[in-house]
Chain A
């Protein structure tokens, strides 16, 4: 049965390309590994570590290879196989991973987002081993913020090591436009709407929105919800201890709907980069997006942080850091844990993270991370990350995947018909059907 399940999942996951898992063979598409020794010269003990991720983009694969390089320096006898699976914003990789886990053939370690999404599913399925002793040995309980470790902990056991940190509650804006009309980045929703009126009267789109992938509007709504409820109530809600029909949620939905009146009408045709481009070119004044947008501003559009583009926390979320973090753990069905534990040591170390993050355009979640390696934006995000409470968002692996998918579906209707009650009740029934904790 297990074997059959693995087979079927793999066949579905690779959408027709034949990948036989469950019989000890390699998974679908191993990307070229960096300096890994060919299989023929492997030592008899089979010193081989498979690292599974969806980092196939230019920057992220460079960063991963650099991290693997650090590992190889310390453990030259291990052949590292970089098993990155491309496509579908990680959904292809997740499907391949699921099939391998079911077949009892997990990779040495794999990328997953910290939070109550897939990570929690794997932990609940009994597919992960706790890492408390590794944390104690490496002194990591002091090296990372407690609120980050809480996201990786279930019943006192910690299950993963964070490698990078991204922020999801960022309001990107065009400094030239704000200067021209004497505006400051809005810190409250009423200020946002006051600014938006001014901008609209001058023929500028106040808030650029892109929703081609249908997760972008959900991200915006997450930030509005966080700004409306405040961090304590919001986190209770997202961990299944609040009511999704409370007045706060309704009010957030109303605010979101009101915001939609100040966006460009063609949002469902645009990808997030195009919304940021509108801000960069001065057609729009603001955009809410995670800080992966900063890489787009600096690398693709060659803008200088501060002058070419500005940033602020989204309205009402000052003093809160909405975290999106990539973490790696220890699968429980491995034959031997040593290689993986050694890799996790490197992954969590200052040296490993200092090599990895600048290349990837993220920053290190370690409290002692070297700030001189990062630009002005990342330094400001790091400062907030170190002192502020963290929150998860809906999407990006923050919440139950089934819940997230149904919220996205409800959002696709809500952005058009603005029916607040219908939306709130759809989100509420999604939360009933998919437990959040």
Chain B
């Protein structure tokens, strides 16, 4: 999980390095290439080579242990898209990603602003908020499934406080607002909110750390000047601080998007696919289709769709960073 995040940012950073048109072969360049070669070769095989292979498999009839590479056209894609499960997955992943990013950014920025007020024991608070990120998503899932289990955890406290109708957290099959389209209901599944709480608990500390770095980059002189001009705190926040955090926000959004789209461990440990697939995700569907059902081509089709969704988020960002590189 963490490793692949770093990978993405590395790709992004490396993409603008071939800007200069004049190409002088120098010793530096040779040693640079020699240093990069192993990782380029490994990435080429294990990332891009297998992406090509997965796309190829998704167009075959290989849906059992017996390899069958006859051309199936879009059969696997059509089959997958028709299933209730995959349609639910698409609803879930869109809802989850949007809510996850908004919640992490709001909470992360809020915490960063608080810590930025030159408080005492700043590093202690920073550690406390960022610590959940050090915990594996699987562990987070197990812990939160205990906390939010309808018969234990939080509900015992609510019971003691005299609440009669206790929430069923991640067991709920309620979807709000319930708009039926075809065979699925569009809206926010309540059960997904329980998963969201756990995910936000884990990742908002990361958003906080990045924002804190961004805030430190804003010079006090500008803030001071605005204050002298009679701007209030809110005005300074909206007109000066937020605009300067644009680049930081982009970074946070990209990394959180990547984390959100391929979320697996948390779901696997906490809820599983859930009743009526209210907490299912494409990654989970892919895993079960491929490794429990041995439907390799269908699993590959799900992976390719997930890759396209990822690309839809990441590619615009790549283009914008490349453009910025040229403008400099």
A residues lining the B interface (CB < 8 Å): 1, 4-5, 8, 11-13, 18, 88, 91-92, 94-95, 98, 101-102, 118, 121-122, 124-125, 127, 212-214, 265-266, 268-269, 400-402, 404-406, 408-409, 412-413, 415-417
Residues 277-296 of chain B, each 1 if its beta carbon lies under 8 Å from chain A, else 0: 10000000000111111110
Q: Answer whether A415 and B275 are a contact pair too, CB < 8 Å, given A8-B53, A269-B170, A402-B64.
A: yes
Chain A CB within 10 Å, residue with most, of B53, B289, B293: B293
Whether B50 sits at the interface, judged by CB under 8 Å, is yes
- A88 touching B171, Cβ below 8 Å: no
Q: Answer whether A402 and B168 are a contact pair too, CB < 8 Å, given A91-B292, A268-B274, A412-B273.
A: no
- B293 touching A404, Cβ below 8 Å: yes
- A102 touching B67, Cβ below 8 Å: yes
- A95 touching B291, Cβ below 8 Å: yes
Q: Answer whether A401 and B292 are a contact pair too, CB < 8 Å, given A122-B65, A125-B66, A266-B168.
A: yes
Separation of A269 and B146 alpha carbons in the complex (Å): 9
Q: Answer whether A266 and B149 are a contact pair too, CB < 8 Å, given A88-B291, A405-B288.
A: yes
Chain A CB within 10 Å, residue with most, of B54, B271, B294: B294
**Residue of B145, B168, B173, B290 touching A12 (CB-CB under 8 A):** B290
Separation of A18 and B3 alpha carbons in the complex (Å): 14
Separation of A125 and B296 alpha carbons in the complex (Å): 15
Q: Which residue of A lies closest to B148 (CB)?
A: A269
B133 CB to closest chain A CB (Å) equals: 20
B204 CB to closest chain A CB (Å) equals: 25
Separation of A98 and B293 alpha carbons in the complex (Å): 13
Separation of A214 and B273 alpha carbons in the complex (Å): 8
Q: Which residue of A lies closest to B62 (CB)?
A: A5
**Residue of A269, A405, A416 touching B292 (CB-CB under 8 A):** A405
B83 proximity list for chain A (CB < 8 A): 409
**Residue of B50, B66, B85, B170 touching A121 (CB-CB under 8 A):** B66
A416 proximity list for chain B (CB < 8 A): 173, 275-276
**Residue of A11, A12, A265, A401 touching B293 (CB-CB under 8 A):** A401
Q: Number of contact residues on B: which range applies?
A: 35 or more
What are 25 A-B pairs with beta-carbon distances under 8 A? A8-B50, A8-B53, A12-B290, A94-B294, A95-B290, A95-B291, A98-B294, A121-B64, A121-B294, A122-B65, A125-B66, A127-B65, A265-B150, A265-B171, A266-B149, A268-B271, A268-B274, A269-B271, A401-B292, A402-B64, A405-B289, A409-B84, A412-B85, A412-B277, A416-B173
- A124 touching B66, Cβ below 8 Å: yes
Residues 30-70 of chain B, each 1 if its beta carbon lies under 8 Å from chain A, else 0: 00000000000000001000100110010000011111010
- A409 touching B85, Cβ below 8 Å: yes
B residues lining the A interface (CB < 8 Å): 46, 50, 53-54, 57, 63-67, 69, 83-85, 145, 149-151, 168, 170-171, 173, 271-277, 288-295
A219 CB to closest chain B CB (Å) equals: 14
Q: Which residue of B lies closest to A430 (CB)?
A: B293
B53 proximity list for chain A (CB < 8 A): 4, 8
Given contacts A212-B272, A268-B171, A404-B292, 8 further A-B pairs with CB under 8 A are A8-B53, A91-B292, A214-B273, A265-B171, A269-B271, A409-B83, A412-B274, A416-B173
- Grouping DSSP codes into helix (H, G, I), strand (E, B) and loop, the B interface class, with mixed when no group exceeds half, is loop
Separation of A118 and B84 alpha carbons in the complex (Å): 26
Q: Which 4 pairs, one residue from A and one from B, show the smallest C-beta to C-beta distance?
A: A405-B293, A121-B65, A91-B291, A416-B275
Q: Answer whether A269 and B150 are a contact pair too, CB < 8 Å, given A412-B273, A417-B276.
A: yes
Separation of A121 and B170 alpha carbons in the complex (Å): 37
A265 CB to closest chain B CB (Å) equals: 7
**Residue of B145, B151, B170, B293 touching A402 (CB-CB under 8 A):** B293
Separation of A276 and B277 alpha carbons in the complex (Å): 25
- A118 touching B292, Cβ below 8 Å: no
**Residue of B63, B66, B276 touching A413 (CB-CB under 8 A):** B276
- B64 touching A269, Cβ below 8 Å: no
Q: Which residue of A lies closest to B279 (CB)?
A: A268
Separation of A412 and B151 alpha carbons in the complex (Å): 21
Q: Answer whether A266 and B151 are a contact pair too, CB < 8 Å, given A11-B50, A18-B46, A124-B66.
A: yes
A401 proximity list for chain B (CB < 8 A): 64, 292-294
Q: Which residue of A lies closest to B150 (CB)?
A: A266
Separation of A101 and B67 alpha carbons in the complex (Å): 11
A94 proximity list for chain B (CB < 8 A): 291, 294
- A118 touching B65, Cβ below 8 Å: yes
A118 proximity list for chain B (CB < 8 A): 65, 294
A11 proximity list for chain B (CB < 8 A): 46, 50
B64 proximity list for chain A (CB < 8 A): 121, 400-402
A127 proximity list for chain B (CB < 8 A): 65
- A213 touching B65, Cβ below 8 Å: no
A101 CB to closest chain B CB (Å) equals: 8
Q: Answer whether A402 and B295 are a contact pair too, CB < 8 Å, given A121-B65, A214-B272, A265-B168.
A: yes
A332 CB to closest chain B CB (Å) equals: 14
Separation of A143 and B272 alpha carbons in the complex (Å): 42
Q: Which residue of A lies closest to B272 (CB)?
A: A212
Separation of A8 and B55 alpha carbons in the complex (Å): 12
Separation of A1 and B65 alpha carbons in the complex (Å): 16
B66 proximity list for chain A (CB < 8 A): 121, 124-125
Separation of A314 and B243 alpha carbons in the complex (Å): 67
Separation of A124 and B67 alpha carbons in the complex (Å): 11
A404 proximity list for chain B (CB < 8 A): 292-293
A433 CB to closest chain B CB (Å) equals: 8
A408 proximity list for chain B (CB < 8 A): 288, 292
Separation of A98 and B53 alpha carbons in the complex (Å): 17
Separation of A92 and B287 alpha carbons in the complex (Å): 10
B273 proximity list for chain A (CB < 8 A): 214, 412
Separation of A214 and B63 alpha carbons in the complex (Å): 22
- A98 touching B65, Cβ below 8 Å: yes
